[in-house]
Amino acid sequence: MKRDSVVLWVFGFLIFGVWIGLQFRTDVKQDRSKLDQFFRYLEYEYVDTLDIDGLMDDAMDHILGSLDPHSAFIPAEDSEYIAQRMQGNFSGIGVEFRIHEDTLVFVSIMKNSPAASYGLLAGDRIITIDGDTVVGPQLTNDEVTSRIKGEEGTYVTFGIMRDGLYLTAAVQRGIIPLESVVSTQMLGSLGYVRMERFAETTHDELLVALDRLDSLNMRGLILDLRGNPGGYLHEAVAIADEFLSEDKSIVITKYGDGKTHTSKASGGQRYEDLPLHIIIDGSSASASEVVTGALQDHDRATVYGTTSFGKGLVQEDKILSDGSKVRLTVAYYYTPSGRSIQKPYEGADLPGQMEGTVFTSDSGKVLLASGGIEPDIYLSADSSNSYYWSMSFGTMDAFAFDQIDAQRSDYELWTFDRFVTDFELSDMQLYSFLEYGSYGLTLEDLSSTDMDEIRFLLKAAYAKNIWGFDAYRNVLRTDDVVLKEVVRAASTTLK
């Protein structure tokens, strides 16, 4: 019997056992004993050797996946990474790397990081880590990450090839922030903040960003939540609270036992009257939708973009003995007006989506409820040409690395501002990219739109390989047609 068949068998057995337990409320200890006995039979008497732990993990994954779209089993090896992203920092040295032709190469060094303090440079080839050779086809990203990360205050030693010289560097690990507010800038009289997720530090990061923008005479704020998958509910509530007056509802949470909890604004915040404009898209989910829905329901923000993802289920993580987690749905989110955020799925009973039900904002504006948050003003980038080439980003990134690595000292003479305004890829570089990617195309095969799109995305990839991800995002923003339209529309509303 193949592993998949055994998994389905185990899954069916567990589902049946759970159903029987629910119907007849059998003794819990007896149920556990039965399951223990079942897995002992598999482990000791099945004809082939089985990975019992793996079977149990797979069975739990199947069970949770059958409940709703967002309940999930998280293996122990993934739990730490997820937790680090949500706590807003990790212990490491602050480098971005890639494995290039079987060699570990540092691509960028974070400012003010341990790596920067100890003199590591972009372009360094790493030959050894803590005395062990890390060169060859067997090298993986996971292996490199596990070797570089470690407890704060401990050291990691690198053997480095730089400009033909072999060097060693012992770097003390420190706390590396994982910022969720990834961009803050003034666009005319409007402040702009892009938020990638709702982590433990997001509210604090936003306050720092708002204070900076306020010092630059911000008269309105654009909050960009495109691509933000959500995160901690308490961070979403705290952020919405910054813009709402006292006792305004932020989110209604309805639990399976019938209990309901309504989070409300505390009032007296500094930005309660600041004009707000929010951008969302189909990847804006969960906590992003909580913030957007609350501010839209209370007429505090104009919402632009496309319909959000529609994740209105509340999960709690239950930690198991081996460090794995059961991410279990325990409640539904509703906006203050009563709209269900969750998009329809099989088996769901969501009264906030009933056909014919009309929801309104505080001022009486009609609000649609079909799962997700509907924008007030629909704006969508024309992706007909960009989609294909954006899917080629991995190839573009590798090509840009090769080009820059061959002339790194020349490229590092550029300032970012001059790069944005003056840097252009030549036809020869464009031709080289097509050859590199084995697309089977020549310049003559490309439309002028395709050529412009490739040049632009390659320019962003070059910026990433010189200055890092922030530079990549900032280059992309220079041709963000949705943002440009929001700035234009928002600017006309300023008094």
Residues acting as catalytic residues: 286, 297, 311
**Segments in 174-275 forming alpha helices (H):** 202-215, 233-241
Q: How many CA atoms lie within 13 A of 177 on its CB side?
A: 12
Q: Report the distance separating Cα 24 and Cα 423, nearest Å.
A: 72
Q: Report the distance separating Cα 383 and Cα 368, nearest Å.
A: 26
Does residue 159 sit in helix, strand or coil?
Answer: strand
Q: CA-CA distances (angstroms) from residue 464 to 88, 107, 160, 467? A: 22, 9, 22, 5
Give the relative orientation of helices 448-467 and 427-436 as an angle to the nearest 10 degrees. 80
Amino acid at 341: I
Q: What are phi and psi of 175, to 5 degrees?
A: -80, 125
Q: Which residues contact 34 (CB under 8 A, 6 or more apart)?
A: 17
Q: Report the distance separating Cα 372 and Cα 364, nearest Å.
A: 20
Are the CB atoms for 293 and 225 separated by under 8 Å? no
Q: CA-CA distances (angstroms) from residue 135 to 144, 371, 400? A: 11, 50, 22
Q: CA-CA distances (angstroms) from residue 43 to 36, 37, 54? A: 10, 10, 12
Give CA 401 to chain center in angstroms: 24
Q: Report the distance separating Cα 312 and Cα 230, nearest Å.
A: 11
Taking residue 367's Cβ as centre, other Cβ atoms within 10 Å add up to: 18
Does residue 189 sit in helix, strand or coil?
Answer: coil
**To which residue do tokens 């319909």 refer?**
307
DSSP labels, 119-132: T--TTPEEEEETTE
Q: What are phi and psi of 312, to 5 degrees?
A: -115, 30
**To which residue do tokens 């556990």 refer?**
32
For 170, the enclosing helix (H) or strand (E) is: strand 165-172
C-alpha closest to that of 202 among 307, 301, 95, 86: 86
> At CA 198, angle to CA 72 and CA 482, rounded to 5?
110
Are the CB atoms for 148 and 94 separated by under 8 Å? no
Are the CB atoms for 225 and 311 separated by under 8 Å? no
Are the CB atoms for 126 and 143 separated by under 8 Å? no
